[in-house]
Amino acid sequence: MWGTGVADSGSTDNLGGLVGFAARGIETLGEWGVGLFTLAETVLPPIPSEVILPLAGYLAKLGSLNLVLVFITSTLGAYLGALLLYWLGAKLGLERSIRGLSKLPLVDREDFENAAVWFRRHGRSSIFFGRLLPGIRSLISLPAGASNMRLATFSLYTLAGTGLWNGALIGFGCALGTQYQVIEQYSRFLNYAVYATLGLTAAWLVTRSVRRSKAAKR
């Protein structure tokens, strides 16, 4: 089945918060919606893949989505997002790219600099392993593009790392199968984790802004 119909429309009705929103979005948009989520998550993480992909795997197990197409679209979406950052690094250079992107909310210059250090230290293998590390996964493409890494090499390592990461998360959700109580508990845990992360990040950004303002007045 390659469509986007939902076999069990009540399967995610009781999921609340960010996870519930993501689940209903996946049910509405289908397999290609999973790809759109992963593309957006790669460029500017609104909803992490740790939320999207297990849900997609879970829904595939229920028959709502096609498992193979979920894997293909999620990997393609993540690759296109990585390609966008690669292109940005190649066109603007590392410093200009970091200067512009670090102005975005919930993103800090230090994150990009850490990704650049990781890339310089590990070379092309950093593209593969970086796709498996939160915090590095989305940003490692920028220094790769800025260093003019061959697109074929970048694509190969990105697709391999992304495929492994996506397959593991989708497989986890699929393994839960009809264990709705487990997915419900998992969704609550993820909601708390995401909200706590957003709260701590917002508090950190405010604190940093206040400190910089005080330093500028001295």
The model's pLDDT over 77-99, given as tens digits with 9 standing for 90+, comes to 999 999 999 999 999 888 888 88
Q: Per-residue pLDDT for 10 more than 50?
A: no
Domain assignment present for 175 = yes
Domain assignment present for 152 = yes
Domain assignment present for 6 = no
136 pLDDT band (50/70/90 cuts)? confident
Q: What is the mean pLDDT of residues 159-188?
A: 78
Question: Euclidean distance between the first and final Cα of the chain, in Å?
Answer: 65
The closest of 173, 201, 149 to 57, measured between CA atoms, is 173
Domain assignment present for 128 = yes
Q: What per-residue string of b and e applies to 3-35 under the rule 16 or more CB within 10 Å gives b?
A: ebebeeeebbeebeebbbebbebbbeebbebbb
196 pLDDT band (50/70/90 cuts)? low
Domain span at residue 51? 17-217
| pTM, full prediction | 0.75
pLDDT at 192: 61
Total number of domains in the chain: 1
Domain assignment present for 9 = no
Domain assignment present for 1 = no
pLDDT at 6: 38
Domain assignment present for 5 = no
pLDDT at 185: 64
Domain assignment present for 2 = no
Burial zone of 144 (CB within 10 Å; 0-12 exposed, 13-18 middle, 19+ buried) = buried
What pLDDT digit, counting tens, does each position of 48-71 carry? 777 788 888 888 888 889 999 999
Q: Phi first, then psi: what are they for 81, rounded to 5°?
A: -65, -45
**Which of the two residues, 195 and 156, has the higher pLDDT score?**
156
Q: Per-residue pLDDT for 76 more than 90?
A: yes
